[in-house]
Structure 1
Amino acid sequence: MIDGLAPEFVYDFHGEHALGGRRTTRDGMERWWQRMLRLLPGIRFDVRDIVVDGGPWRTRVAVRSNVAGSLPDGTPYQNTVMQFLTLRWGRVTSVETLENTQVLQRTLSSLASAGQPEAAAAPITD
């Protein structure tokens, strides 16, 4: 994902939680992915639908995915993610991510209560 980003991009993940926020640098995205994989290790994305429109100078992509995995205590995690991406000449210039925030927030609260303070951390932004 990181290597597909354009030199200038915006990545917005909606919600005021540890995985939310806006990132515009490679460093911010690397820190975000590291956090996401610490909080949700073994997470899998099952792409259900993709809609593509536009030419290579401005390609718009809508993606609906199911997200699943096991939390550190073995509890299953399942959610739905919608993303809207814009690409320019094959490089991602913007991503907007919407995940069922109620499910995600409950999961992050549970992780924080179980001793993972990063689950309650402020969003990574830059």
Structure 2
Amino acid sequence: MYHRVVAAKVRQAFAEISKGNWEAMVTGMAPEFTYRFYGDHALSGERHTHEALRRWWERCFRLMPNTQFVVQDVLVAGWPWDTRIATAVTVDVGLVDGTRYQNVVHQMLRMRWGKMTEVRTLEDTAVLARALDRLAAAGYEEAHAAPITDEVAV
């Protein structure tokens, strides 16, 4: 039963983000956490503070407003004090330059007593880099900005 509840909460979190409500995801992070998005691009990097994570989500939605996430799979293992979650999620968005971006996002998450302590996000970074290149070429300089981390307030 616990695993079903967690899976439902994960699905609901993606539904809320699709509505533009990413703040609920930020407040769902534990006081100490790691949020890592793999790659070498404007959305990559590692964050450990709620402020850096907010700045990251703000950038995501400036570059990719109205992003829609559709959860394909949620796998849950463990207990409330050490829960592991794996997701496969499709992402689809009309970019601000008029093109479309579609990809599959895979995440590995850890949760402790209802708060996320770790999020590792991996998607096809070549597809993402091409979309960011198109945005930069269309005049959206932030698409080639340095990653947002705790140390870099960009």
TM-score for the superposition, normalised by structure 2? 0.81
Amino acid at match of 2:31: P
Q: Hey, what does 1:77 align to over in structure 2?
A: 101
How far off its partner does 1:69 sit? 1.0
Q: What is the rounded CA distance, in whole Å, between the counterparts of 1:24 and 1:125 in structure 2? A: 8
Which aligned pairs between 1:1-126 and structure 2 lie closer than 5 A? 1-126=25-150
Q: Helix, strand or coil for the counterpart of 1:123? A: coil
Shift in Å, 1:74: 2.4
Give every structure 1 segment of 4 or more consecutive aligned residues whose post-TM-superposition deviation is greater than 4 Å: none
- Corresponding letter in the other structure for 1:19: L
For 1:114 and 1:76, the matched residues in 2 are separated by: 14
Q: Which amino acid aligns with 1:81?
A: V
When the two structures are superposed, what TM-score results if normalisation uses the length of structure 1? Answer: 0.98
Unmatched 5+ residue regions in structure 2?
1-24
- Matched to 1:120, the amino acid is H
Q: Number of residues paired by the alignment?
A: 126
Amino acid aligned to 1:61: I
**Aligned partner of 2:145: which letter?**
A
Higher relative contact order (CA 8 A, sep 6+): 1
Q: Give the superposition deviation at 1:64.
A: 0.2
Could you report, residue by residue, the CA deviation over 1:37-64 in whole angstroms, capped at 9, with x for unpaired residues? 0000110110000000000000000000
- Asked if the contact 2:97–2:134 (Cα under 8 Å) also holds between the matched residues in 1, the reply is no
Identity of aligned residues (%): 54
More helix by share: 2
Any stretches of 5+ residues in structure 1 without a counterpart?
Answer: none
Cα shift at 1:73: 2.7
Secondary structure (helix, strand or coil) at the match of 2:57 reads: helix
Return the alpha-carbon distance in structure 2 between the equivalents of residues 19 and 72 of structure 1: 16
